[in-house]
Amino acid sequence: MIPLLGCSLIALTVIIERALFWVREDLRRNPALVDEVLTTCRSGDWEAVRRAVAGSRDFVVRILVSGILHREFSMTKAMETAAADEMQRMRRYLTVLDTMITVAPLLGIFGTVLGIISSFDLLGQSGIEDPRAVTGGIAQALITTASGLGIAILSVFPYNYFNARAESAALAIEKYATSLEIVYGKLEQKQVVSGGEVA
């Protein structure tokens, strides 16, 4: 039961940490600013973009700004790198939670097997004159399996939720990054056309 207690504490710590993380991210989100950045980029006013995003902690804005800063070299690669960093931050500790979901039931079954071995050993020593000692030992041994399953069941729901949030964030990043690439592509075409007309 001591290893199971450790698993439950680790799982609970990760769940609380990830829940607080997503609450903070929700408070930092600013979809209106993201739309404003894309609108400002259409005119190519990069200084206005810089002023607009100053102090923003929205992860989508950070990725777009990374692309804008490296627009002369490789906007796409810059945004991909920034997005990878953000996704790593969003999925942090989820492997730990996944491990607890897998390990807790196995530890529970292991504890039950050890308890049953001990009960049958007692049966071999005392014979069948005292069956209650054996059945009581088996019932006690099954507590570890129930505990392990309980930890896994209660951990799998937040684990799936946090994964879903990360996937949703990835889709939002892809959507806005693609929009910025399209806007910048059109802006470059305009500059090429206007340059040709001047020539």
Residue 176 lies in a domain: yes
Q: pTM here?
A: 0.82
**Could you write out the DSSP letters of every residue in 116-134?**
HHHHHHHHHHHGGG-HHHH
| pLDDT at residue 88, rounded to an integer | 94
Residue 173 lies in a domain: yes
pLDDT at position 25 over 80? yes
Report the pLDDT averaged over residues 158-183.
Answer: 92
**Cα 4 from Cα 132, distance rounded (Å):** 27
Residue 115 lies in a domain: no
Q: How many domains would you assign to the chain?
A: 1
pLDDT digits (tens, 9 = 90+) for 71-129: 788 888 999 999 999 999 999 999 999 999 999 999 999 888 888 887 777 666 655 56
Residue 31 lies in a domain: yes
Residue 15 lies in a domain: yes
pLDDT digits (tens, 9 = 90+) for 135-147: 766 777 788 889 9
Question: What residues make up the domain containing 169?
Answer: 2-98+155-188
Residue 172 lies in a domain: yes
Residue 45 lies in a domain: yes
Residue 104 lies in a domain: no
